[in-house]
């Protein structure tokens, strides 16, 4: 296909040129009614592009025109059967993957390292999750990926499961043994669904890990906005295999997503796809070069360790994404959290910190001079006297699933201080950040390991998403009257 085209962008531009008199949504009427302060910042063109389904444009959930063409070009570039543009992030794609493959009461095997959107999709679908515990890199204190052995063992005990949902790479760019994981799911007749939120850039440079698309997953969802130069909320859902009912996916997306998709978002997806097709290789070559420059410079500094491709072990880590900079600050006597504050105070904003590390993303927008600025700040960090090492505590194994997440969500809840919840059943999703992975899901029995992990992470300065934090106390939602 002609990847130099951007049909959606072209159609919107053509429409704007017609200077139609607007009597339609959105309420700013192509910027005329927009607040002056915002018009000054965003410019007239921004509002011109914020169109709705006007004549000559298309419907996201009934794509027959320019959106269909733009999605077909994306599918051609990513070498998949069909691509859906997502305007509600990867979260919507994860929900649709689950809805389209698992019905109420059916089992889905998921990594315990899944993002909260997986639990959300399971709540919506009514499926029953079976969790597989991920491996852990003790050196850096980072949860990595499922091992093929652990996945197969769980599958053997749950042969009636419909699908396996694998999340890889992790935030830090560690990709699991995706080929083996997909092959195992297929060996037992299950769908292999992959949350590749952190891998939308993989196809555009041979130095990146290969996408799960390449290894034959049935469906793959990618947060375009996480690594590609597009707007927040824009993602891609790919159907890779013939086994997937594309119509069921389309209908699921129509249920989940907004019926007023932003043409600004979709235009970005269209134009960024063209950019990647025409210039992706050289743009990413430059970004990788900058990341390597950073690795070289930082590894020369005393007190820092930086993750590189030596992290690959062929089991829970089979490939490494070079644009992720994980810098370990333990030897300096800092926790990752404290080091992030130090960086912020010195004008450096990063992606995240955990107890032992800080994580920085290099994108095609970064310059070598950004690395020089970073290195200058790193040089300034004085070694703290403390010999105390912050270590990530072991991630607790999933508690017993007493009710399906959907059933649990339909029950009443009450709020309890976390120390009083052992043996009770969680109503909500509770995800300490870091690692940003749900420790509690609706319907899961709360055990002492989960309680202690949540309390420890809170004490060490983590945020407990889905809990109510009040001074030194943490409250969670549990099923009312709900002992298992
Ligand atoms: C692994 C993973 N999956 C899914 C998501 C959800 O993506 P989005 O924010 O695009 O909805 C995230 C977001 O951080 C993620 O890290």
DSSP 223-272: -HHHHSSS-TT-EEEEE-STTS-HHHHHHHHHHHS-SS--HHHHHHHHHH
Q: Give 129 Cα–ligand 1 centroid separation in angstroms.
A: 19
Q: Give 95 Cα–ligand 1 centroid separation in angstroms.
A: 11
For a mutational test of ligand 1's pocket, the pick from 95, 219, 223, 465, i.e. the residue with the most ligand atoms closer than 8 A to its C-beta, is 223
Same domain, 13 and 63: no
Q: Is 223 in the pocket of ligand 1 (CB under 6 A)?
A: yes
Angle at 420 between CA 416 and CA 426, to 5 degrees: 60
Q: Give 359 Cα–ligand 1 centroid separation in angstroms.
A: 16
Is residue 398 in a domain?
no
For a mutational test of ligand 1's pocket, the pick from 85, 92, 117, 361, i.e. the residue with the most ligand atoms closer than 8 A to its C-beta, is 117
Residue 193 contacts by C-beta under 8 Å, 6 or more apart in sequence?
A: 97, 98, 101, 163, 164, 165, 166, 217, 218, 219, 220
Same domain, 411 and 293: no
Same domain, 64 and 32: no
pLDDT of residue 382: 79
Q: Give 218 Cα–ligand 1 centroid separation in angstroms.
A: 19
Same domain, 107 and 240: yes
* Domain end call among 57, 74, 105: 57
Q: Give 197 Cα–ligand 1 centroid separation in angstroms.
A: 6
- pLDDT mean by block of 10 residues, the chain; 484 residues: 98 96 95 95 95 92 96 98 98 98 98 97 98 97 97 98 98 98 98 98 98 98 98 98 98 97 97 98 98 97 96 97 97 92 97 96 98 96 75 92 97 97 97 89 97 94 93 96 61
Same domain, 202 and 74: yes
Same domain, 211 and 139: yes
* Distance between start and end Cα atoms, the chain: 56
Q: Is 113 in the pocket of ligand 1 (CB under 6 A)?
A: no
Q: Is 90 in the pocket of ligand 1 (CB under 6 A)?
A: yes
Residue 295 contacts by C-beta under 8 Å, 6 or more apart in sequence?
A: 306, 308, 325
pLDDT of residue 482: 64
Report the nearest atom of ligand 1 relative to the CA of 235: 10
Q: Is 366 in the pocket of ligand 1 (CB under 6 A)?
A: no
pLDDT of residue 48: 96
Query: Domain range for residue 476?
Result: 405-483
Same domain, 417 and 444: yes
Number of domains in the chain: 4
Distance CA 447, CA 235 (A): 36
358-416 per-position pLDDT tens digit:
999 999 999 999 999 999 999 999 777 666 778 888 899 999 999 999 999 999 999 99
Is residue 385 in a domain?
no
Q: Give 94 Cα–ligand 1 centroid separation in angstroms.
A: 9
249, 237 contact by CB (below 8 A):
yes
Q: Give 316 Cα–ligand 1 centroid separation in angstroms.
A: 20
Is residue 393 in a domain?
no
SS3 breakdown of the chain: % helix, strand, coil, rounded to 5?
Answer: 40, 20, 45
pTM: 0.97
| 131 φψ region: left (φ > 0), alpha (ψ -120 to 50), beta (else) | beta
Is residue 428 in a domain?
yes
Report the nearest atom of ligand 1 relative to the CA of 171: 16
Distance CA 428, CA 475 (A): 11
HSE on the CB side for 436, CA within 13 Å? 11
pLDDT of residue 387: 66
pLDDT of residue 385: 64
Distance CA 370, CA 468 (A): 38
């Amino acid at each position: 296909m002609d990847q130099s085209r951007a049909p959606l962008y072209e159609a919107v531009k053509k429409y704007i040129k017609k200077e139609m008199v607007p009597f339609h949504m959105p309420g700013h009427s192509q910027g005329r009614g927009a607040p002056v302060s915002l018009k000054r910042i965003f410019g007239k063109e921004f509002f011109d592009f914020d169109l709705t389904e006007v004549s000559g444009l298309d419907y996201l959930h009934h794509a027959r025109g320019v959106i269909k063409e733009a999605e077909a070009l994306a599918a051609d570039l990513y070498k998949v059967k069909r691509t859906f543009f997502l305007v509600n992030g990867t979260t919507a794609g994860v929900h649709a993957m689950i809805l389209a493959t698992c019905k109420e009461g059916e089992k889905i095997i998921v990594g315990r390292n899944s993002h909260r959107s997986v639990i959300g999709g399971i709540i919506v679908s009514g499926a029953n999750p079976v969790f597989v515990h991920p491996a852990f890199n003790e050196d850096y204190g980072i949860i990595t990926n499922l091992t093929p052995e652990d996945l197969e063992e769980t599958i053997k005990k749950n042969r009636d499961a419909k699908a396996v949902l694998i999340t890889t790479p992790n935030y830090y760019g560690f990709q699991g043994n995706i080929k083996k994981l997909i092959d195992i799911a297929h060996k037992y007749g299950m769908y292999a669904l992959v949350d590749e939120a952190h891998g939308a850039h993989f196809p555009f440079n041979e130095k990146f890990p290969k996408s799960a698309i390449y290894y034959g997953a049935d469906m793959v969802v990618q947060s375009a906005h996480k690594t590609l130069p597009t707007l927040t909320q824009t993602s891609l859902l790919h159907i890779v295999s013939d086994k997937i009912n594309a119509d069921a996916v389309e209908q699921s997306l129509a249920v989940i997503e907004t019926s007023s998709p932003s043409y600004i978002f979709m235009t970005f997806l269209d134009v960024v796809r063209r950019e990647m097709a025409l210039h992706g290789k050289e743009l990413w070559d430059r970004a990788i070069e900058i990341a390597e420059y950073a690795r070289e410079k930082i590894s020369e500094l005393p007190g820092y360790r930086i993750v590189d491709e030596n992290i690959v072990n062929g089991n829970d880590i089979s490939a490494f994404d070079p644009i992720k900079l994980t810098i370990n600050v333990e030897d300096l006597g800092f926790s990752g959290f404290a080091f992030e504050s130090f960086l912020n105070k010195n004008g450096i904003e990063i992606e995240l910190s955990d107890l032992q590390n800080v994580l920085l993303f290099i994108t095609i927008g970064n310059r070598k001079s950004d690395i020089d600025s970073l290195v200058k700040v790193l040089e300034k960090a004085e070694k703290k006297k403390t010999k105390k090492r912050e270590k990530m505590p072991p991630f607790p194994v999933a508690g017993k699933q007493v009710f399906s997440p959907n059933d649990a969500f339909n029950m009443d809840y009450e709020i309890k201080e976390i120390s009083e919840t052992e043996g009770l059943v969680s109503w909500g999703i509770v995800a300490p950040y870091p690692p940003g992975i749900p420790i509690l899901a609706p319907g899961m029995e709360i055990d002492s390991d989960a309680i202690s992990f949540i309390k420890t992470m809170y004490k060490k300065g983590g945020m407990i998403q889905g809990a109510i934090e009040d001074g030194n106390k943490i409250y969670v939602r549990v099923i009312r009257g709900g002992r298992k």
